[in-house]
Amino acid sequence: MDKVKIGVVAPAARLEPATAERVTTLATAAFAGRAEVVFHPQCFLSAGHFAGDDNARAGAFLEFANDPGFTHVWFARGGYGSGRIVPSVLDGLTAAAKNKTYLGYSDGGFLLAAFYKKGFRVAHAPIPHDIRRIGGEAAVTRALAWMINGTREALEPSIDHVHPVVAFNLTILSMLVGTPWMPDLRGHVVMIEEVSEHLYAIDRLLAHVTSSDEIRLVAGLRLGRTSDVPDNDPPFGQTPEEIVRHWCGVSGIPFLGLADIGHDSGNKVVPFGR
């Protein structure tokens, strides 16, 4: 088997150099000699909210995506910013970009969606910045184990390899509805998760997503974790699961149960498709 060579770029927020060092140390200790993790210096740039301006982020992304030496492109961190570079990244891809796997989640869903639509291999997966979480080394190790060994235990356990699957942060999925980057999700199991949103906003996002005629063609929804939910004033009166069940009922989309994904160190890998 060819050696795994993982290129890390930051399409959204910047990474601290010390975080990159921790990930490199962990990868060396756990998978010595079997993989190389290369952090693009763009990861450490800073321009307002972002890890460098749009040109810098798109340029670094394309440099690694178009480099035939990399087997994987791993998104350093979420936050916000991936959506801003989708058009220029899509415009700059060459043939070598298709022969690798792209991994990220949260804000990175903008790129995962657009790349999946193009027929590229993409996966919702823990990212380097997750090492800063409590228990975060397990999350990063899980992503690396899947990239390096194809470890099945890294996968979200409901994946049956029969139904195609995708996983998205709910806000990002909502921001994709009605745009050219939304892949055809007919027949897919769609896993959603959310962080730092009020319950009323989660309800509103589900109202949006489940009202889309395209989304109504999915095989069903699975709910991942909703974490750091700010207090609703007044109390919303429904749990996240009750909210999802409500909108599944209204829209006729089957509710399939929970999903083992979220903004936490337990977050599992979901390769898009079958």
Q: Name the residues that contact a copy of itself, by CB under 8 A.
A: 46-49, 79-80, 83-84, 87, 171, 174-182, 199-201, 203-205, 207-208, 211-214, 232, 234-238, 250
Given a contact cutoff of 8 angstroms between Cβ atoms, the answer to whether 142 and 269 are in contact is yes
Find, among 239, 168, 238, 241, the residue nearest to 209 by Cα: 168
Q: Rank residues 131 and 175 by Cβ distance to a copy of itself and give the closer one.
A: 175
φ, ψ of residue 132 in degrees (nearest 5): -75, -10
Nearest-approach distance from CB 212 to a copy of itself, in angstroms: 5
- Shortest Cβ 134–a copy of itself spacing (Å): 21
Minimum distance of a copy of itself from residue 261's CB (angstroms): 21
Please identify, using beta-carbon distances, which residue of 87 and 92 lies nearer to a copy of itself: 87
How far is residue 146's CA from residue 220's CA, in Å, rounded to a whole number? 25
**Among residues 80, 40, 83, 46, which one has the least CA distance to residue 61?**
40
3-class DSSP state for residue 271? Answer: strand
Closest CA to 193 of 82, 103, 115, 268: 268
The least distance separating a copy of itself from the CB of residue 251, rounded to whole angstroms, comes to 10
Nearer to a copy of itself, 153 or 242 (CB): 242
Give 119 or 237: the residue with its C-beta nearer to a copy of itself.
237
Dist CA 164 CA 116 (whole Å):
12
**Rounded to whole angstroms, how far apart are CA atoms 160 and 156?**
10
What is the nearest approach in angstroms of a copy of itself to the Cβ of residue 95? 26
Nearer to a copy of itself, 160 or 233 (CB): 233
